[in-house]
Structure 1
């Protein structure tokens, strides 16, 4: 388990050559997966001309170094459209506001916790209720609905799910794993077959997120005019949000902006 601040700045070591090939400049987050997809290599040039390492090629992230097999793991970001797309979305998570499903702003995110042994998935978020808070608490992954550019959307009962120690995240993962095994077994008992993980997870998560957003926004009123990426008006201020408006926001990637600007 690592915080992102423990990764940034680490030397990158090619174990085949036994040499340092760079340092970690930053990480690129895939919000849909809830994971770090790329590590940016610090080479002293602008980030859009930088080199990156897909996390699938990372052998390990230790206290003193991040290791890769050899320099073939390092690629020009310009040759990886997916990395450029994620970079342009600029999902930082750190420092973003925390919004509950029903629209309460309850604090902000301090840092992210990453399971480096599970494809650098995000397993929890440091939660800061206010500047007077003396102890950092942690939002577990199963309480997070959306990783957005300007905010993180969480379940309404998130306060009752907060953890006090990073070690508790590992326990939480163990419980989730047992639950998943149980649910998969239950499906197998019904029809005699076990669905592949890829068949049951991504679509289900995406559908859940969409349903929660739709339920939260339905009947509310937009408090600002929302524009598409070309500057055209999509949703005018004071528009009542219904299924038609939601679909307009969804098709233009503006659902989170609606979540942030309604009453």
Structure 2
């Protein structure tokens, strides 16, 4: 099943074997080299507390309105965790970043990211081209594949990837069958 990151953030966690205190997903950690979700953040790090997360493989099921894990042992510190690679980042850092093609052509801003719930593989960048275009055309989907380069202000995709962009994913044109 394909889910959007924004649909997961804010969902509550349900433990099957015991009552856990109320927890919800704060963010998703992904590998920049494998393009996979590695963990679901449930507690941001603070001065004297490490960031806590559920390793992706410990998720039993993604429900419509919750995420199911076995027990509290699934919750681990992110710091020095062997299940999370060194070049990992949080998904929310990508939201709002400009997407450009290698030649400099601007496609839009990252609005969301889709991923496969069984494997954690990142599937698409959901891009906004502005409210008017989003309303009329829908938001384009950019398949996530190598190479994908990122600097501080933008995400750069290859010209080969730009040819695979899925346009007209919704919007009024599609609803009203104006194509």
TM-score (norm 2): 0.75
The structural deviation recorded for 1:80 is 1.8
The structural deviation recorded for 1:101 is 2.4
Q: Distance in 1 between matches of 2:28 and 2:94?
A: 11
Name the CA shift for 1:33/1:157 in 2 (closer, same or farther; >3 Å).
closer
Gaps (5+ residues) in structure 2?
A: 171-179
- Is 2:118 aligned against 1:101? no
Name the CA shift for 1:86/1:25 in 2 (closer, same or farther; >3 Å).
farther
The structural deviation recorded for 1:146 is 1.2
Normalized per residue, the structure richer in helix is: 1
8 Å Cα contact 1:99-1:105 kept in structure 2 = yes
The structural deviation recorded for 1:129 is 2.7
The structural deviation recorded for 1:108 is 1.6
Q: Pairwise CA RMSD of aligned residues?
A: 2.8
Q: Distance in 1 between matches of 2:32 and 2:102?
A: 17
8 Å Cα contact 1:40-1:50 kept in structure 2 = yes
Name the CA shift for 1:104/1:8 in 2 (closer, same or farther; >3 Å).
same
Larger CA deviation: 23-32 vs 124-133: 124-133
TM-score (norm 1): 0.54
Q: Which structure has more RCO (C-alpha within 8 Å, separation ≥ 6)? A: 2
> May I ask how many residue pairs the two structures share in their alignment?
162
Gaps (5+ residues) in structure 1?
A: 167-263
- Is 2:157 aligned against 1:154? yes
SS of 2:114's equivalent in the other structure is strand
- Is 2:112 aligned against 1:111? yes
8 Å Cα contact 1:31-1:146 kept in structure 2 = no
Residue 132 of structure 1: aligned partner = 132
Question: Which structure: larger Rg?
Answer: 1
- Is 2:125 aligned against 1:122? no
